Structure 1
């Protein structure tokens, strides 16, 4: 095994769990998330010599762009969110279930934008660059997604910044 292969294997072992959570949040489906992560890691392996200084940024970028390609092509049907052993965004299990159900009812584009903005903590400009759209598109999609969440799950108002 070469040094590059060993470095790649160490990267995969260390970062797969975090990258898997991101892939799941982007897709809302365990199987699609696995496919998305495999695609991203395959790309990283192919270009390891070029990206080894910042592999996580490269893999996350592939996750975002590949997910966008999938929902732009509409190759997969919207599916419900299953359970995943990720840290809950909120302490109450009922609230977590409500959030998962509400997120599952968003469009893939809306869910992707919310994941980038609030889970990955990207700015509007960074999210726009990751998705290959304008910052205005990210702003309007975020606004529409949050409005839809408010409608679908008013009990989440505390999480999405609305006072009852």
Structure 2
């Protein structure tokens, strides 16, 4: 009996190690985009990844044909949303470290954009995961995309040496 349990534990560990080797990089990139941290300085993203992988490992034997990547991504997204809610009072709240490529977006916009465009999650699936309507997810994604593609302009530079005409 103990020999069989040891064999199962070894197999489980190997399967999980193979999963982490294949998925951790992409999950870390998604977490880094969510947290709007710089890729080389992303402690919050690394913490999110660690929690998602720990949760996935804890559920490993109960996955029963379910995709472990989907489970880890779902946990990562929900953990990020929950953390954003607790830090800012609401998911729509403030912006975080302005060093990442998605730093101009709100946490909710980043979450929807990462799920839809980076991860390729269907609109309906993202809506169900986040407890929003598909139309709301589409509107948030469209707004976030527009913000990234058309950033607000800064003030016009002052013209040096221009004379003001007298009236």
TM-score interval (norm. to shorter): 0.7 to 0.9
Normalized per residue, the structure richer in helix is: 1
Q: Look up the match of 1:23.
A: 31
| Alignment correspondent of 1:8 | 16
Structure 1, unaligned runs of 5 or more: 83-99, 155-164
Shift of 1:77: 6.3
Larger Rg computed on CA atoms: 2
Which residues in structure 2 correspond to 1:1-164 (within 5 Å)? 2-29=10-37, 30-51=42-63, 53=65, 54-74=67-87, 78-82=96-100, 100=101, 103-152=102-151
| Kept after mapping to 1: 8 A contact 2:95/2:103 | no
| Closer/same/farther in 2, CA of residues 151 and 18 from structure 1, 3 Å limit | closer
Work out the number of aligned pairs and report it. Answer: 135
Superposed CA RMSD: 2.2
Structure 2 stretches of 5 or more lacking a match?
1-8, 89-93, 154-167
Q: CA deviation at 1:33?
A: 0.8
TM-score scaled to structure 2, two decimals?
A: 0.71
The structure 1 segments of at least 4 consecutive aligned residues displaced by more than 6 Å after TM superposition are: none
Q: Secondary structure at the match of 2:113?
A: helix
